[in-house]
Amino acid sequence: AELLAERYHFNMGLLMAEQGHLQALGHWEPFLLLFVSLSQVLHLLGPKTEADLEKKPKAAKARIAPAEKQKAAVVENGEEGTETRSLLEQLRGEALKFHKPGENYKTEGYVVTPNTMALLKQHLAITGGQVRTRFPPEPNGILHIGHAKAINFNFGYAKANSGVCFLRYDDTNPEKEEEKYFTAIREMVEWLGYQPYAVTHASDYFDQLYTWALELIRRGQAYVCHQKVEEIKGHNPPPSPWRNRPIEESLLLFEDMRKGKFGEGEATLRMKLVMEDGKMDPVAYRVKFTPHHRTGDKWCIYPTYDYTHCLCDSIEHITHSLCTKEFQARRSSYFWLCNALDVYCPVQWEYGRLNLLYTVVSKRKIIRLVETGAVRDWDDPRLFTLTALRRRGFPPEAINNFCARVGVTVAQATMEPHLLEACAREVLNEQAPRAMAVLEPLKVTITNFPALKALEVLVPNFPADESQGFHKVPFQPTIYIEETDFREEVDKGYKRLAPGQPVGLRHAGYVIAVQNVIKDASGHVIELEVTCTKSDVAEKPKAFIHWVSEPLACEVRLYERL
């Protein structure tokens, strides 16, 4: 019906998309399919008419007020947007084609065992069918702009579907963890407007994880290995000569690891599986003689991410384990481990990382910048850590809006920083009262100033919305403008002040024209003498410039890209 109504103005891309489904069935060659489709269209519509050759008129866009635009992008007080789809709309219900709680088995690649349905039934009894997500940062650094997407996705998906989100610290590497990181991570989550359902730690479950490790050995699915780290690095390491050692021997050796009888690197517990990227027998436990910030020196063995992550998700009855694309290779080990222990198995879903050009977001690289003194600290305003963005003045709504615009994509997104800055401007336009400021002042004397005493000019606090009030600005015979707003010679396209080219003074109601240019001994312009005319009688100028009079001195920090 749409094709007949719109004829050759119809979006043929929709037909191409349908063809993708047919190609997937394997019955059609792409070119043959395209030929058949277009042949049918030609047969149905016949030759093009004059009306078909005319350009399709563009639909008029509804103008959206600035206040509505802000709602358009994010999770802000639970409001939905009106312009593009808000993050809540992107994450709600069927939008992402995610499984419903308890229907994990409907997900492609999910491994179903004889116990799966009984475990899912128990899971539903505990959660009541509630969506549960988690944000699981490692407390070894400050969160950055990429984490903002993860926070918005995890907390946003739970919020959009009336669920809950855990903040779980993945504190399994005591060598790199510091209390300041725990505090800063929670601070940033709350600064972005989210409240965790519960704050948990991987270390809360160390006893249970150890018990399960013993069970894994008893089931013949894990063994103690003595290969060195260097030997098992890479994608084609030699198989472990200890892979088939007796179960009782591995149990005794694992107990010796726990008691500190092996040095660091002398023994590991490895799981018997091959991961999607070809990595064989990932490590589950390693020896580290480093006291833990929460458990002290109770443990000298610590679980790895590959072992801990899925089991903590299982303990907390997470329904959707959302993580970035680089963890896709670990999905098979995620399912394998839960099923090897016969525990509830959540579903891991991957999405694309968010990166920015002209900066680094890798915690390892940022630590190096801090340690070498290239930047002051994690909150150096040239970085794109969340603490740095907050210090620089970015509102949290702007960061959330930016994440909503990037969208929930599977492909990795590498964005320009100016897109984030544009989001900041939109929010600040609504929230921050405007002030005029001059960074590189050039003195301007008005020789025919219209009054014997100084005037005061009313300037709107928010130029786009004058209903939010005004403030008074002094207007005297001496004002200051930006040096860059004046040129002695006019180039094509230059519209600001120059000899013979007047400009308007923003909010003052006057147009000024240059009469005399005063220079110092080196030929540098230090002052302009101008005359002024009221705007309503002067010819309309090409531009209006900002200015200050009786100015206050202030410190302004300008930051370039790293």
> pLDDT tens digits, residue range 38-71?
778 887 887 777 677 666 665 544 333 333 333 3
Q: Put the strands of the sheet holding 283-287 in their side by side order.
A: 222-225, 268-271, 283-287, 301-303
Domain shared by 459 and 533, yes or no = yes
Q: Which residue among the candidates 85, 294, 353, 391 is catalytic per the annotation? A: 353
Show Cβ contacts of residue 467 under 8 Å, excluding neighbours closer than 6 positions. Answer: none
Beta strand 320-324 with 347-351: parallel, antiparallel or unpaired?
A: parallel
Q: Which residue among the candidates 83, 89, 138, 430 is catalytic per the annotation? A: 138
* Residue 71, CA distances (Å) to 45, 60, 227, 337, 435 in order: 43, 21, 56, 42, 25
* Residue 198, CA distances (Å) to 183, 192, 299, 409, 552 in order: 15, 17, 25, 27, 48
> Does residue 65 lie in a domain region?
no
Write out the residue range of the structural domain in which residue 369 sits: 363-431
- Concatenating the DSSP letter of every residue in 205-271 gives GHHHHHHHHHHHHHTTSEEEE---HHHH-SSSPPPPTTTT--HHHHHHHHHHHHTT-S-TTT-EEEE
Separation of alpha carbons 469 and 534, rounded Å: 24
Domain shared by 40 and 118, yes or no = no
Q: Is 249 an active-site residue?
A: no
Separation of alpha carbons 83 and 404, rounded Å: 12
Separation of alpha carbons 137 and 172, rounded Å: 11
Span 13-36, mean pLDDT? Answer: 60
Tell me which H or E stretch contains 431: helix 417-431
Show Cβ contacts of residue 67 under 8 Å, excluding neighbours closer than 6 positions. Answer: 430
Separation of alpha carbons 258 and 306, rounded Å: 19
Span 399-413, mean pLDDT? Answer: 85
Domain boundary among 282, 317, 351: 351
Separation of alpha carbons 413 and 403, rounded Å: 11
The residues pairing with 460 across neighbouring beta strands, listed in sequence order, are: 470
pLDDT per position as a tens digit, 352-361: 888 888 888 8
Domain shared by 33 and 154, yes or no = no
Give, to the nearest 10 degrees, the angle between helix 30-45 and helix 13-24.
140
Share above pLDDT 70 across residues of the chain, in percent, rounded to a whole number: 87
Domain shared by 138 and 279, yes or no = yes
Closest-CA residue to 123 (of 320, 272, 307): 320
Span 532-556, mean pLDDT? Answer: 93
Domain shared by 456 and 420, yes or no = no
Rounded to a whole number of angstroms, the distance between the first and last alpha carbons of the chain is 55
Closest-CA residue to 272 (of 295, 239, 302, 312): 239
Domain shared by 416 and 317, yes or no = no
Separation of alpha carbons 314 and 104, rounded Å: 13
Q: Is 353 an active-site residue?
A: yes
Separation of alpha carbons 530 and 517, rounded Å: 9
pLDDT per position as a tens digit, 478-507: 999 999 999 999 888 899 999 999 999 999
Q: Is 298 an active-site residue?
A: no
pLDDT at 374 over 90: yes
Q: Are 292 and 298 in contact (CB under 8 A)?
A: yes
Q: How many residues does the chain have?
A: 562
HSE-up (13 A, CA, CB side) for residue 376: 7
Domain shared by 111 and 233, yes or no = yes
Q: Which residue among the candidates 270, 330, 331, 363 is catalytic per the annotation? A: 363
pLDDT per position as a tens digit, 56-113: 665 544 333 333 333 333 333 333 333 456 777 777 756 678 899 999 999 988 999 9
Provide the pLDDT confidence category of residue 394 given band limits of 50, 70 and 90.
very high
pLDDT per position as a tens digit, 268-281: 999 999 877 677 89
Task: Give the domain CATH number at 523.
Answer: 2.40.240.10
pLDDT at 37 over 50: yes
Domain shared by 213 and 266, yes or no = yes
3-class secondary-structure state, position 297: coil
Domain shared by 426 and 445, yes or no = no
Domain shared by 388 and 469, yes or no = no
Separation of alpha carbons 245 and 256, rounded Å: 16
Number of domains in the chain: 4
Provide the pLDDT confidence category of residue 7 given band limits of 50, 70 and 90.
confident
Separation of alpha carbons 226 and 242, rounded Å: 8
Domain boundary among 303, 326, 351: 351
Show Cβ contacts of residue 205 under 8 Å, excluding neighbours closer than 6 positions. Answer: 308, 311, 312, 315
* Residue 129, CA distances (Å) to 104, 358, 410, 546 in order: 12, 44, 26, 58
Average pLDDT in the chain: 87
Separation of alpha carbons 71 and 349, rounded Å: 28
> Does residue 436 lie in a domain region?
no
> Does residue 544 lie in a domain region?
yes
Task: Give the domain CATH number at 422.
Answer: 1.10.1160.10
Domain shared by 372 and 410, yes or no = yes
* Top-confidence residue, 419 or 38: 419
Domain boundary among 431, 451, 481: 431
